[in-house]
Every structure is written in C-alpha cells, then in structure tokens.
Structure 1
C-alpha cells in the first residue's frame, strides 16, 4: 500500500442509499435503563466526568469542614477522631477519586474524536473501569457515615496504620478500596495507550498528533510504571494487618520507611500524572483563544516526555527528613530542581503563543491565565522545598500544604474548569454564560489565593500539618480565619459554576459547530458513531490548514462512511506513520462490564468487613462476568477483507503482535512485572537492614525444589508454544491442560520446599517478604488455571481458529510471563542472601 493510496479521496462510485441509517443503527445508544449497558466512549466519558465532579464536590465539602474546625483556636466542632477521618477522606477522595479519574474521563470522552477514530479499542474495558470506580468509590465514601472511614492520613504511614495503633477496619477500607480503584485507573491507561498508538486517523503521524494526545500517552505510560508500587504497598500493609506478616514492624525486622519508598514512588509521579493532562489541555486551548498555532510545539512534546521521565527520580522528595543518606538526598534535590526546566519550557511556549496571537478574553481564557499565575507560584515554592536546609524547616508545616494546593489546584483544577467551559458545547451545542463565568472565576481565583497563600505564612510561623486544633496564643488565629474565609469564597465560585452548568444542560440541543474556531478534530460534526467518515490528515492543525475537511467528512468522502461488516468498526493504523493496517472490530453494548465491576467492588469491600462468603460470591461473579464478555469476542471474522473506501481495501482484524489485544496484554504484563519488582524491592530492602542474611532461625529451602519448579514451568511454556501448532484441532486443548498440570505441580514443589525449610512469615519480616513473592506467583497460577480452562473450552467449541486466535496468543503471553516470573522469583530469593551474607 503506497502513501498515494492513503491520500486519494474516494471517488464517486455508487454506494447504498441507506448506509448512514445502517451506521447509525449499529452505533445507536440504548435508551431507558438499557443506557447503563452502553460502552460507547461518549456515554462512558460523560458518566466518568460527572462522577469525578461529584467526588470533587464531596471532597470540597470535607475541606470546608476542616477549615471550619481550624477557623478559631480550641474549636470543638469536630473531635480529633472525626477530624482525622475527614482529613484522610478529603485527601484520598481528591487524589484518588477526583484528580486521576477526571483526567482519564476527559480523555475517554475527547480522544476518539480528537484522533479521528470511531471509539477506543477496548470499549468494554473502559466501561468496566468506570463502573468499578463509581461503585467502589461511592461505597468507600459512605464509610464516613458509619464511622469506618480511614483515619491515618491519605498517605497512610505505618506504624500508625498497623494493627497496634489502628485496630479497627478503617485502614482496611483504605487499603482494599484504593487498591481496586488503582486497578481501574490502570485499565483506563491500557485503553488510552493502545488507542492513541493504533487508532489515529490515517495520516495523523506522531508528529501531527495533538499535544493533548501526547500528554495522555505520556501519562498512560507513567501510570503503568507508577501505580503498581502503591498496589504492592497496599497489599503488603493489608497482609500485615490480616495475617500478622510484619513488613513494617521494626521489632520483627520490618521497616516503616519501606512504605514511604513504595508510596512516594507512586505519589510524586502522581502529581505529574495529574498535571500533564492539564498541560495538554492548556496546549490545546491556548492556540484557539490566541488564534495562532502553538509556539514551540515540538519543544512542548519533548518537555512532556522529559517531565514524565524526571518524575520517577523524585519520590524521595517527600522523604528528605526521613534520615536518608547525603548522596540520595542530593540526587533527589537535583532532580527536583531539574524537573522545573521542561515545565518552564511549556509555560514560556504558552506565553509566547498568547503574545504572538490576538487573545479573545472569554471563560476559558480567564481560567487559563489564572492557572498560569497559580501554577508558576506553586512551581517557585517547589524549587524552594527542593533546597534541603529550607525543606528541613518547613517539611511538616502548613507551607507544604500551601505548596501542594498551589501545584494541584492551580496545575489541574483551573485547567479542568477551563476545559469544561471550552468543550461543553460538544454535549448539546450550548455554551455556558460568559457573564456568570466572570463571577465564577473571580470567586474561585480570589478565594483560592486568600485561602492558600496565607498558609505559606502560617507554615513559616510554625503551624504543623495534620493538627485538628491549636492554642490561642501561638499567633495563628487571624491567618487561619482568613484561610477559612477564602475557602468558603472558593466554594461559592464552584457552587455558582454548578448552577450555571445545570441550567446550560437543561437548554435544548442544537448543532455544536465550531464555536471557538478550534483547529482540532473533536469539533467536526459527530454522532454516536463519531465522525460521518474517518478523515485523512495532512497537517498539525487540520481544521485550520484543511478548510474543506469538515464538509468532506460530513459528506462521507473520507474513510469508512458506512459499516463495512455490519458491526462496530474503526481503522487501525501504524503507531508512527498512521498508515491504515486493518479494520478493527469493536465490541458492542453489554451488561457484562457492569456486572463484573459490581462483583469486583463487592469482593473487595465485603472482604474488608469480613463477610467472607458473600465476598467470594461477588468475586466469582466478577470472574464469570469477565469470561462471559470475553467469550463473545474473538470468533471468526465476518469476512477476510473489507472495503473502507472506494480506493482502499483492508484486512478485517489482525492476529499476533499486529492486533490491539496483543498489545493490551503486553502492557498489562508490564504492569504485572512492575508489581513483582516492587515485591522484590521490599525483599531486598528488608534484607539490607539485617546484620546477617538470612536472619537467625530462618532458612531457605533446598535448591532442588526451586530447580524442579523452574523445570516444570519451562515445560508448561513449551507445551503452550507447541499447542499453537494445533490451532483448530483437538490436541490444542489437551496440551493446554497438560501445561496447566505442569504449572500447578511447579507451585506445589515451591510450597513444599518452603514448608520443609520451616519458613514462618509471622516470625520475621524477611520470611514475610519471601512469602509475599511466593503468594504473588501463586496468584498467577490461579489466573493461569482460569485462563487455561477458558482457552481449552473455547478450543473444544471451535472458537479458536487461525483468523480468531487472540485467546491463545494472549494466554500464551501470560503463560510465558508467569514462567519468567517464577524463575526470577527463585533467583532473587536465593541470590540476595548470597550477596548480603
């Protein structure tokens, strides 16, 4: 296929008169209560955004309760216990239930149209991610009303969150609740990475891709490497609480600092995971309001990647006062300052774009200008706390509270509000009131600075963080009252915005058009199926540089103006050059993602309150629903090739490494490997604290057991590789079952070796760390058992063929990974004592 083929518009060959009606019927959104079975990105994105904004309001109310408590000294409005719950839930909800979900929500809603695609490649995964987040998040928030909300701070530092100091269920709700919410975020990241790389419109090369899509691609990769650390950390702390495995108990060989390493390896990149999507939105909106192309576009893209890279060197930024070595502190201090350089490049590029263009002052403009003012101040205080002597003085004071809010609210909330004003016409064609927007901005900008700039001074005067009251004679009275007044002014602005938003959404629907004269593709006319036809892109700013694009797309003169197979489809393109590769078949609406998400949420939450039986019923329901939705997929394609325009014929679907499901599985395994690496890091960290490794009374199993186990794992992988040669015939499922027996036997040998060695996870943290690694391998054996039985069943039913082989390809990837992980686990467990001893 030549590039000439791609850039030739379809000729005027006759097409069916009812092609638009058939396209609409395939993509039509179900009505009534069936709406909740929808998996279309537009519907899921709107639900996602609405739920995230609900959590923003709820977390804001908790923040107002805190400010009311701190308005005057010796206040008794909230007790110490209640304040700790409110404080913990405020930070947790803002960070985990608003900040991360809202950026993923906006991406799910905007990216398909911005990329010129019909939908993202795994719409049911998006639906599952949303419902798990919504159901689990609302249940988690309701713990406040029964006195079971977590109270250890949103960072949950041990030993205060261990069983000795937090014997109730409060901490367990945080650990299990946040764990599966993070899994939901990772599912969303996989969807976005594959969607951005493989569903861009033909001709939209990486260099032409919108900056917002670049930001979300970087963020997706960051989520894949950052979030596994918190999943591993929460698993370790929950195992300590549930099974008395002392990972963080110093008296039994554990180390509370281990939690801080794992938490902040996630926590500081999370700040940039929140900021980079906002920066991408800013880079999208500023050229529109200035009426000129973005200055330094390539430099901004490089800066986005650089920020993502530097962010992983900053986790100990939060641990300067934790007693780390001078070399470690100096390294992180330098990285903390270095990250300001790519951030500054973006700010200067935005200012240059505004300077070069003719700025129109409207609601998005006001919030973008407010963002730049607030975020730059937050960045300046960030450089200040990167200086070690200064950080030692202010580390646990309200100066840090002020810095945190300037970076997060300034760096994310103001751009999100600008984006809501900017993109709201996409929903019903109606813009929000400009007159009301000025009041909203004035109240939010003024209230924010009154509330949080004052906290810098309060912190410099010595007010510590995380206190629920203070004495009258400390000189903080007036400053705290000013901060409280500012917080309520800020809340008044948010309330006014919500009222105007509700009134706007009640207006009758009209054609959205392109009210801002924006250059990006989301402003093309769209329906449930996205654009009438998938456009051919030849420029960075297509709606400016290709003026005839909109009428051509609307007239169906580009790619896929119909349903070629009678199913939902989009064009899969190459990741760099965006050349058409194949016709991607997308799954339709289904109840299974909702049922699977409800089962997942029920499993974790009911497990927390010790309703073990019902919890397992929910877990089995989640697994069964997931298998049911996967059972419907990956059958023989309706045809081998399909015409997507009068000048282009593409294969229907792809197999192996060319398919989107293969890449989704690979990214999932990278997440998996990062979780495993976090467990190995915990084992190494605990081993390094020992005077003698293994510690007295502990021993490793005889090497014969891990050797036998590794041999069986390799044999299982070899059998799976062999089974691929028998696709479509009876030996394939039999070989899978024999491979499964090998894996089960391998894990049995592992367990027997540790049993004979007398390993006791309750006795010492070193033994517990080994038990955690072995348990994680055991979890993979269970997953392989389910996957292997599923694959064998599909093979016997004839659903695995040469044109529908995604099941065996993806199960094989998981199988080979489990083999490698088992070998790596055995090597790490036995090699570390040799080095440390």
Structure 2
C-alpha cells in the first residue's frame, strides 16, 4: 500500500465492521499471555513491569519514611542520644537520597509505564525489554544500595554530596563511592525509561489521536521525559568526575590543586532544580486528568495548561543557581536566576487556576481522590509562596541552610507530588482488579496525612526563622527550639499513621476477588476501556480529546474487535506505529516477547557497579561480562527480518510491517540517546571551561598541549571512519560490507590512539592539577566511545557474515552509523574545545 493511501484521512465509520474469525481472540491471548511462577521474572509487558515498578517505588517511600521518623525522633528533644552524629548523617543522607532518587523519579516513570500504553490506545510501549531492564536495574541496585545502612557503609555527605567533604581527604571510606556509583547507574536506568516514554508517546498513539487530542498526562510525561534527557546527564557527569577524583586522584574539586568545589554545585543543581519540576509536572498531568472526571466536565483552559507545562520546562533550566545564592556568584547571575525563579510561578499558576475553574464549573463529589487533590492544591500553593520568598536574594541570604528551606522543600515536593500520587492510587487502583478502595477509610487516611503533614512541617518555617540550621543531629535546650521540634515530631508520626492505614486498606483491597473494571469514575480517557494482558481487544480510532465521553459505545466496539488490529497478524505481539503529530497509521510494529535477558543484563549491571565499589574486582567483571553478553544476545535477536511484508489491520487498511531510517522508532530512540550522550559531553566541556576560567594563566605553567598536527591527524582518521560507514550504508547485503565496517573500526581506533599519543608527548598528567584532569576526562570519554564502536563494529561484521543484515533488517547498521558519526563529531569538537579555550583566555 502506498504511503499516500496510508496517510489518507481516517474513515469516519468503524474500521472493522465484518464478523471476526473465531480463532482471532484466542491467538491474541496466547501471544500476550503473562508467564506465571518463576518465569514471571521474564515478563516484559508494561502492565506487569508497571505494577512491579509502582510497588518497588512505594516500598522505597516507606523505607525513606522510616528513616525520616528516626530523624524526627532524634530531634524531638534537645541533646538526644538516640542516634550518634555519624549514624544521623547516614540516615539523613539516605532519607533524602531514597526519597529523591529511588522514590520520586521512579514512581512517576512507574505510573507512566503502567498507564500510558492504555491511555494512548497502544498495546505496549515500543521497547518493552528496555522497560524491563530499567526496572530490574533500579530494583536490584536500589535495594542493594539501601542495605549499605546495615553495614555502616551508607553515604553520609548529604543527598547533595558536596565536595570537598565528600572527597577522599574527608570521606576516606567507601560510603561516598556507594552513592556515586549506585546513583549513577540508577540515573542511567531513569534515562532509559525516558527514551522509552518519548518514543512511545510520539509513535504509538491510537489512530486519530493528534497531539492536540492527546491526554494532558501524556503531554506532561513527554515534557518530563525531555527534561530528563537534558537534566540527568549533568549529574552523571558530576558523579563520574567525583568518582575519578576519589579513585584516581584527579583533582577536579580540590581547590589547592586548581579544582573548584563550586563546579560540583553547578553540575548537581543543573540536574537538581529541574528535577523538582520533573517530579511536579507528572503530578500536574495526573491532576489535569483526574479533575475533569471528578468535576464531570472537560478541563478548562486545556491548551493554556499544555503551554504552561512547556513553559515550566523552559524556566526550570534557568533556575539551577537558585540553590547557589550564597555561593559567591556574580550579582548579574543571581539577579537573572532570581527573576526566573519568580517567573516560573506564572505558568504554574495558570495550571492551578485551570483546575479551580474546572472544579467551579462542574459538580464535585468529595471522594478520596478529590480530597487528596484539594489537599495538594492547598499545600503546593503554600510551598510556591515560600518559593517566591526564597527567590528574593536578601531573604535567601538569611534563610539559606535553615529549617525554613526544609519546610519549603517538603511543601513543594510532598504537596506537589506525594498527595497527587496518593490521589492517583485511589483513582487508578480499580484498573488492577476492578475493586475500589474504601471511601470511609480513605477520608481517615487523607485527614491523618494532611493534618500530620502540616503539623510536622509548618513549624519548621518558624524554627528556621529562629535560626535552627539544617543537617544538625542535636541542639542545646537554651536555643528555644525544643517545643516546635516536638510538635514536628508528633506531626510526622500522625502522617506515618495515615500512610500505614493506606497500606492496610490497599492490601485488603488487592486481596479481594477480581471483578470487571468498568468505568467506576465515568472517566473520559482510554485507560478505562476493557483491558487484558494484550491491552484493548482492538486499538481504537479517536476523534476527540475526551473519547469515552464523545464517542458513545466506544468500549463495546473496541471489545467486539471493531477497531484496528483486533488480533495478531504475525502471531506475535504487535501494535500500530503512528505519525508523531497527526496520529496517522504508519506501520505495524512487531514487539519482542518475554525473555530472561533483560533481567540477567540488569542484574549483571547492578552487580558490576556495586561489587566494583567494594573492590571485588573478579566478581564485578564477571557480572559486567554477563551483562554485556546478555545484551548482545538480546540485540542479536531483536533486529530480525519481519515474517510478513504487509499487515491488514482493519477491513480497509493495510500497513507495511516495520520501517527503516527516519520512519523507524528505533532510529529516533538512537537520536535521543545521542542527545543524552552529547549533554554528558557538554557537561565535561563545561567543567574544562570552568576550571580554565579560574586560572591566572591558561594553560597552567606545569601543563602544555600537544602540537596541532596530532588532533588534525586524529580528526582526519575519525572522518575517514565515518566516510566508510556512509559508504557501507549503500552496501547492505554485499560481501564486502563486513570488511568495510572493520576498516572503519580500525580508522576510528587509530584516530583515538593518535590523539592519545599526542597528549602523551605533551606530558599530560591528570593528577598534577585540575586543568589537566578535565582534559583527561574529555579524552577518556572519547576513548569509551571508541571501545563501544569497536565492539559494535565486530558485532555488525558478524551480523553481515551471518546474513542477518539485509535491506529489510538494517536498523542495527543505521543506528550504529548514527553513533559512529556522533563519535566523530564529538572527537573533533573535543579537540577544538581543548585547543581553542586557552587561546580565548590570552
């Protein structure tokens, strides 16, 4: 079928009105059947992975809450000896780290993995094995990381890990290393989830679901996933630099040797402040989805709210120095960030006013989700007001590092994320077994949590203004803080009682017999269509932003198989790939099935990082090799020739099976991955520029750069390797292709070795001072890419020799070629930066 026909307007009637074959539904159920017993670990279905993800994130929430109660018990009375200073620092660090890295980010991705495919009308996300890998890496690594508390090895430098206190001189043990290596690879898992979500939202929406009709929650997750792509690489670069300093004595943050501790703050907060909105925006998307249902009317100002989501994304990247007003930055910089900190309140207020207007226009019944949403708006608005206060420079100089900031942080994060998440759990839990949680107990849960939260954290504003600093494990009685601290501790336990009651009710509800889900809230979004392991029986055709309200009988039509792809064409798992903007059907996407490989790869990855930390080198490398082998086997079978050329997905529509180049979802996933890669590289270049600008003379007297002939020769070899890959793109299926790929590999490797030789002749010593260390980090990062390309080159040659690289199965080559060209560009830009910056410093 021609692309013109595929892109024609969708029919206004039912896509499939003919009687369905008798064996169609049994074949569909067989293809999507969830494994049982121990083989459940092999499941890659978004429903299974999503539920595991949600459960694990909530477990970390409970564990972090217990740590918070320990802290509040310690601070309840003056000079308490319950926890020593050392143990308190570990508990304090783990509380913040677990809440931020192991609960807040994972829970928003977990809910998205579970909800989005059905909400978008898709059978699954486009890379289900990647979702499984991301979950298992997070779960295994996160639980092992938490267990460091029981061995006295938990990090104790605060969840922000500021140098120089976390450098080797002041933190000689392994505590900081566990944070750096553990959190580093957990963030990689979050990035993998973000790539999955971006491609899934843009390419697997139901036919007819244009961007304008897409649910606001999907918009929020798209914006958040883009923010993760640009924000998280900075913390990966920062943890990499600090671990290199600790492990190899490269002094990036040691002031006595030309380093700068403020560099860590720039990298950390370029991630850390957007993270606040990465946490808030998914919650805002859920609120924008739940409020119209609760009010029984469409969302007021829908377009303005979507624009506001994008505006918050834009402003959030201008706010990283919001946390550095006392770090000695220039007046111009601080004034700019202060203005941006206030400006971000405008798009946030647009959303709040839209929600209030929707509730005003509709008829609200105060169910448990409605109560939690009301509590969210009250608490979050208070947090926003104190946020504007700390955006004012003179006030921040007084309140910085006091308990006022602790109160503000919790009002924004707990009010802005935890209360909407609890509303979402009450709202969407019936999707699991068709059972709603108790409304009577839900009201008790809300008032205990709402009251307990405000009793716990509102007094902290006052203790902060009275001068109580953050991060202290005890205080003197004469300071006058004891009564307020006791009130905060009582409130914390009341809040914990509410959470405990919620857990009891949730367990009780999930133990009840399964029943039909239906649409208990009379919602308008597609996740409430009848659903099984295969999602909906047929993929619906959408005509509006509120399909269940505007298309009467849609649920019955979908369940009868009267829409797109009512069965399985190839005998396996499938969904329809649609165009990113208009939602027009493009091709049939065949999805991989259940497998042990993601679990093995994730366990190997977690084992490699964690065992490397405790210096168990042999076992660590064995885990690393197991992860690489599992990944190679996983990829080897993923790019196979489709069993059929075309697929009839409805009575009147035939789609091609799979796509290549820019039409392929995997091509765009590779592009997004390279954007992440480039942002890490840009962070390393920023570190080099930052250190260079601190020097009186650049290069410093003890260092020098190689002659220009070496980077020029290196760049020529890199370009030659890319040119050979461009030539290879025209030789798919030819006998000489493997040799061409190996020649490209040799050119790229030679280019790096030439560059390395030049630095060796110049006497580059990364341990001598920070300037040389930043150059070595850039060179080492390029070397990592060259090693990856060497493995990829051999892998491509093996696929070509085995006959698996053909015109219909060439995604592996196309995606690897993108990586190849990026590595060439990165090598050239890195050399230019290293050699041009000193000229600009003259």
Q: What are the equivalent positions in structure 2 for 1:85-100 lying under 5 Å apart? A: 85-100=90-105
Q: Does 1:482 align with 2:487?
A: yes
CA distance in 2, matches of 1:36, 1:205: 35
1:488, distance to aligned residue in structure 2 (A): 0.4
CA distance in 1, matches of 2:771, 2:12: 62
Q: Does 1:310 align with 2:315?
A: yes
CA distance in 1, matches of 2:521, 2:441: 18
Match of 1:788 in 2: 793
CA distance in 1, matches of 2:800, 2:713: 30
CA distance in 1, matches of 2:634, 2:829: 33
Q: What TM-score, normalized to structure 2?
A: 0.99
Q: Does 1:685 align with 2:690?
A: yes
Match of 2:509 in 1: 504
| Contact residue 320 and residue 392 of structure 1 kept, 8 A | yes
Match of 1:534 in 2: 539
Q: Does 1:263 align with 2:263?
A: no
* Residue deviations 1:773-809 (CA, integer Å, cap 9, x gap): 0000000011101111111111111111111100000
Counterpart selection for 1:716 from 705, 718, 721? 721
Match of 1:606 in 2: 611
Q: Does 1:105 align with 2:110?
A: yes
1:13, distance to aligned residue in structure 2 (A): 3.5
* Residue deviations 1:539-596 (CA, integer Å, cap 9, x gap): 1100001112111111100000010111111000000000000001111101100000
CA distance in 1, matches of 2:380, 2:716: 55
Match of 2:602 in 1: 597
| Contact residue 16 and residue 561 of structure 2 kept, 8 A | no
Q: Please, which runs of 5 or more residues in structure 2 have no aligned partner?
A: none
Match of 2:757 in 1: 752
Match of 2:85 in 1: 80
Match of 2:623 in 1: 618
Q: Does 1:556 align with 2:598?
A: no
1:12, distance to aligned residue in structure 2 (A): 3.8
1:5, distance to aligned residue in structure 2 (A): 4.0
**Higher mean C-alpha deviation, range 580-589 or range 719-728:** 719-728
**Higher mean C-alpha deviation, range 610-619 or range 753-762:** 610-619
1:418, distance to aligned residue in structure 2 (A): 0.1
Match of 2:146 in 1: 141
| Contact residue 16 and residue 564 of structure 2 kept, 8 A | no
Q: Does 1:777 align with 2:782?
A: yes
Match of 2:767 in 1: 762
CA distance in 2, matches of 1:566, 1:22: 7
CA distance in 1, matches of 2:545, 2:718: 50
| Contact residue 10 and residue 208 of structure 2 kept, 8 A | no
Q: Please, which runs of 5 or more residues in structure 1 have no aligned partner?
A: none
Q: Does 1:460 align with 2:461?
A: no
Match of 2:161 in 1: 156
- Give the aligned length: 837
Q: What are the equivalent positions in structure 2 for 1:335-350 lying under 5 Å apart? A: 335-350=340-355
Match of 2:573 in 1: 568
Match of 1:69 in 2: 74
Q: What are the equivalent positions in structure 2 for 1:139-538 lying under 5 Å apart? A: 139-538=144-543
**Cα distance 1:11–1:242, how it changes in 2: closer, same or farther (>3 A)?**
closer
CA distance in 1, matches of 2:756, 2:718: 14
Match of 1:634 in 2: 639
Counterpart selection for 2:125 from 116, 120, 123? 120
C-alpha RMSD over aligned residues = 0.7
* Residue deviations 1:154-192 (CA, integer Å, cap 9, x gap): 000000000010000000000000000000000000000
1:622, distance to aligned residue in structure 2 (A): 0.7
CA distance in 2, matches of 1:389, 1:780: 46
| Contact residue 20 and residue 561 of structure 2 kept, 8 A | no
* Residue deviations 1:188-234 (CA, integer Å, cap 9, x gap): 00000000000000000000000000000000000000000000000
**Cα distance 1:251–1:553, how it changes in 2: closer, same or farther (>3 A)?**
same
| Contact residue 295 and residue 349 of structure 1 kept, 8 A | yes
| Contact residue 194 and residue 225 of structure 2 kept, 8 A | yes
* Residue deviations 1:612-650 (CA, integer Å, cap 9, x gap): 121111111111111111111111111111100111000
SS in 2 for 1:570: strand
1:8, distance to aligned residue in structure 2 (A): 3.8
**Higher mean C-alpha deviation, range 388-397 or range 9-18:** 9-18
CA distance in 2, matches of 1:327, 1:107: 39
CA distance in 2, matches of 1:835, 1:55: 49
CA distance in 1, matches of 2:216, 2:45: 24
